Chain A
Amino acid sequence: DIQLTQSPSFLSASVGDRVTLTCRASQDISTFLAWYQQRSGAAPKLLIYSGSTLQSGVPSRFSGTVSGTEFTLTISSLQPEDFATYYCQYLSSFPPWTFGQGTKVDIK
């Protein structure tokens, strides 16, 4: 099975910071990756799919890029509501639909 490794596990940042989160796949998965945001006590929310496509309604400060097996989620200017845990997910054609272990973005 494909393994996803997110880094860092924890990140402390300030409002207005540019933040970059990484998800590395153990094999080439093309652009078959999604990103989710989970605020404390809430359900996950889809941010990006197919590596770089922004889900409808998601602010444009979120963006996704792909380089080989490395996927990046960038928040251009961190807002108070962006403090949350972020998960990547491999969008395989067949199960299991694996998630990364998550990156928690905390207030510095």
Chain B
Amino acid sequence: DVQLVESGGGLVQPGGSLRLSCAASGFNLSGYTMNWVRQAPGEGLEWVAHISSSSSRTLHYADSTKGRFTISRDNAKNSLFLQMNSLTTEDTALYYCARGRPENYFDSWGQGTLVTVSS
């Protein structure tokens, strides 16, 4: 079965950094595009970042995270990462990793890891 398990969330002060991880199992992560999607408390879904499959390594970011967040992958560990710097209170959210398909829909999601930015 396809499984995605996020980790690395927690409480961080404004201006701080955090690195999220997403461990994949049941499929070879290198063959898929992967994404991070976040959901602020009581709010809807917001796409955050995208990394293409290993062959092209194209990266895309939402305007709200560009220049602060970096998405990456370690195919040997079958894992996805999100390095988040210069965090603000508006980055407080549950962060999901999601597997992408060629048509750009997300067919598998993790359970999420909570990031709280507060002083």
User: Does A60 interact with chain B (Cβ within 8 Å)?
Assistant: no
Complex CA–CA separation, A43 to B36 (angstroms): 13
Question: A98-B47, A99-B47 known; A91 and B103 CB under 8 Å?
Answer: yes
Residues of B within 8 A of A38 (CB): 45
Question: A32-B103, A49-B103, A89-B105 known; A99 and B96 CB under 8 Å?
Answer: no
* Residue in B46, B108, B110, B112 whose beta carbon sits within 8 Å of that of A99 in the complex: B46
* Residue in A42, A49, A101 whose beta carbon sits within 8 Å of that of B44 in the complex: A101
Complex CA–CA separation, A102 to B62 (angstroms): 19
* Residue in B50, B60, B109 whose beta carbon sits within 8 Å of that of A44 in the complex: B109
User: Do residues A43 and B96 form an inter-chain contact, with CB atoms below 8 A?
Assistant: yes
User: Does A12 interact with chain B (Cβ within 8 Å)?
Assistant: no
Nearest CB of chain A from residue B68's CB, rounded to whole Å: 16
User: Does A50 interact with chain B (Cβ within 8 Å)?
Assistant: yes
User: Does A11 interact with chain B (Cβ within 8 Å)?
Assistant: no
Interface residue count on the A side (C-beta < 8 Å): 26
User: Do residues A91 and B47 form an inter-chain contact, with CB atoms below 8 A?
Assistant: no
Q: Give 29 A-B contacts (CB < 8 Å), ordered by A residue.
A: A32-B104, A34-B106, A36-B106, A38-B45, A43-B110, A43-B111, A44-B45, A44-B96, A44-B98, A44-B109, A46-B105, A49-B103, A49-B105, A49-B107, A50-B103, A91-B103, A92-B104, A94-B60, A95-B50, A96-B63, A97-B35, A97-B47, A97-B50, A98-B47, A99-B45, A100-B44, A101-B44, A102-B44, A102-B45
- By a beta-carbon cutoff of 8 Å, the part of chain B in contact with chain A is 35, 37, 44-47, 50, 60-63, 96, 98, 101, 103-112
Besides A89-B105, A91-B104, A97-B104, 17 other CB < 8 A contacts?
Answer: A34-B106, A36-B45, A38-B45, A43-B112, A44-B37, A44-B98, A44-B106, A49-B103, A89-B45, A89-B106, A91-B105, A94-B60, A95-B47, A95-B60, A97-B35, A97-B50, A99-B46
- By a beta-carbon cutoff of 8 Å, the part of chain A in contact with chain B is 32, 34, 36, 38, 42-46, 49-50, 55, 87, 89, 91-102
